[in-house]
A = this chain, B = another copy of it.
Amino acid sequence: MSGNSFGSIFRITTAGESHGRANVVIIDGCPAGLPISQAEIQVELDRRRPGQSSITTQRKEADKVEILSGVFEGKTTGSSIALMIANQDQRSADYSEIKDVYRPGHADYTYQAKYGHRDYRGGGRASARETVARVAAGAVARKLIAVAGIRVVAYTVQVGDIKSVTVDPLQTTWHEVDQNPVRCPDQDAAKKMEKLIKEVRKQGDSLGGVCEVAALDVPVGLGEPVFDKLKADLAKAMMSVPAVLAFEYGAGTAVASMRGSECNDPFVVQEGEVSTESNRHGGMLGGISSGMPIRMRVTIKPTSSLPISQRTVDIHGQATEIRTKGRHDPCLLPRFVPVAEAMTCLVLADHLLRHRVSRISYLLTNT
């Protein structure tokens, strides 16, 4: 109700502030019998972890996950799964500046106005640190959808003005993505992006970009009409992540200037299966997965925290300036990639389960 839960059957609830004791997520609705280990979750957290490369924030967080419940002898029990990631680097910092000044592009002002009382340390609940809980839960979701053969991969396709050539998600795995710190599988573009990030960081500025996310081998039939279309839930998932300003799938914004005859994907039969010749529909028709690859693009704004001076006001309504001290990602893309994957896995896990109750014939097995 207050926005800390996501999903309907496979449902997560998160808690935790940037500089609080810990981030916690409870997963309710994960079926029993799924093998999962702390180590498997840790792998995903390590991809999101601060300090992992020269172009990410140098905040020190081990981000070690602990499974507190719901897993027994290496398998889920059907009970709620609690995961905790303790915060280590709770600097006894001097927060006097951000305590009293609204940082441009941040939620300081809106939280203060909404709640009348806020945890200003590092942005509190509004910090992107909360995505650590999403990634932990997403690791469990990924294992669940893997049971149905689904694979999810995300990667950077644009940083500032530098765009990668079109990447084929079918040929892309973590192996290609993680070969460079930008997480762009087009290695030439990645080099330019990395260079640009370093330059802009030196200028005390930051960069936006675009992430592409793909879900492969998604069975046909996932998505619930009319409000919980798969595209709608994926859009919400992505737009719920800090700094995301735009979402599109398939041909996306380009369809505005297409004719219907150019846009529709003709149906064909391939190896006995209904498929489409092209994939401008991005793997979803009527909000339901079609069996074709699901492709989405997500636009992220440049990091709001900047070491250079910005004009703003303080909580007393006085004009002032602010410089945010150190330890921020100059570009959010590299660490957004695992978050985008996590959110996609969470949506697909939920819809995979929801789809299991959509036909009487599905109920007759194993009852």
Contact = CB atoms under 8 A, between A and B. Distances in A.
A26 B15 contact: yes
Interface string A197-232: 000100001111110000000011101111111011
A352 B224 CA distance: 19
Contacts of A125: 69, 77, 79-80, 225-226
How often does this chain occur in the complex, in copies?
4
A226 B110 contact: no
A110 B5 contact: no
A72 B124 contact: yes
Contacts of A303: 260
Interface residues of A, number: 167
Given A9-B1, A77-B118, A289-B110, A260 B306 contact: yes
Contacts of A247: 235, 239, 246-248
A165 interface: no
A96 B251 CA distance: 31
Given A31-B359, A208-B263, 19 more contacts: A1-B11, A3-B223, A15-B69, A22-B68, A23-B69, A26-B26, A32-B115, A75-B117, A77-B125, A109-B267, A110-B285, A207-B260, A208-B257, A226-B240, A231-B240, A240-B287, A245-B251, A261-B308, A263-B304
